[in-house]
Amino acid sequence: MGKNKDKQKLTGPWRNIHAALWLIGIAVIALKGWWWPGILVLAAASALLEAAIMKFAPDAVEVIKETAASEPLPASNSNPIPAPAAPVHHAELLPTNCPKCGAPTRGHEVKWTGERSADCPFCGANLPMKT
């Protein structure tokens, strides 16, 4: 059983300053070829900068609460919103071929513009439905 710990995350311009430190640091390391131990120095500088920001600008930190997997989620007072029903397309009412370009029309290929209205996938003409 582990303890629940709250994570802290930098916000606003402080996050940008922290990111800039990493970008500039990686660029310097790449230009100089100091991959080892340069990456360790960069990680230490990043940790020191983050600690300094948290100490001198406490409003720059957002606390994110973590919950254990075994804890139940809070119950919602509202009813769940049902998913919208899929539109009903009547593919059997499509003509076999487009009257404008003569291309075959298939229910899964046409662009449905309404429940009983579709456009040809090849020329874009509106297809007349059978009655």
pLDDT for 40-87, tens place per residue?
998 899 888 888 877 777 776 666 666 555 555 555 556 667 777 767
| Higher per-residue confidence, 50 vs 11 | 50
- Average pLDDT value over all residues in the chain: 79
Give the residue from 46, 60, 43, 49 showing the smallest Cα distance to 8.
60
Q: How far apart are CA 77 and CA 90, in angstroms?
A: 39
Q: What pLDDT is attached to residue 76?
A: 56
Please state, in angstroms and rounded to a whole number, the distance separating the CA atoms of residues 106 and 47. 60
Q: How far apart are CA 128 and CA 93, in angstroms?
A: 9
- Cα 91 from Cα 119, distance rounded (Å): 12
Reported as half-sphere exposure (CB side, CA atoms, 13 A), residue 117 has a value of 5
Length, in residues, of the chain: 131
CA angle in degrees (0–180, nearest 5) for 70-8-24: 130
CB atoms closer than 10 angstroms to residue 94: 22
More confident residue, 35 or 4: 35
Q: Whole-model pTM above 0.85?
A: no
Chain centre to alpha carbon of residue 91: 34
Say if CB 95 and CB 127 are below 8 A apart: yes
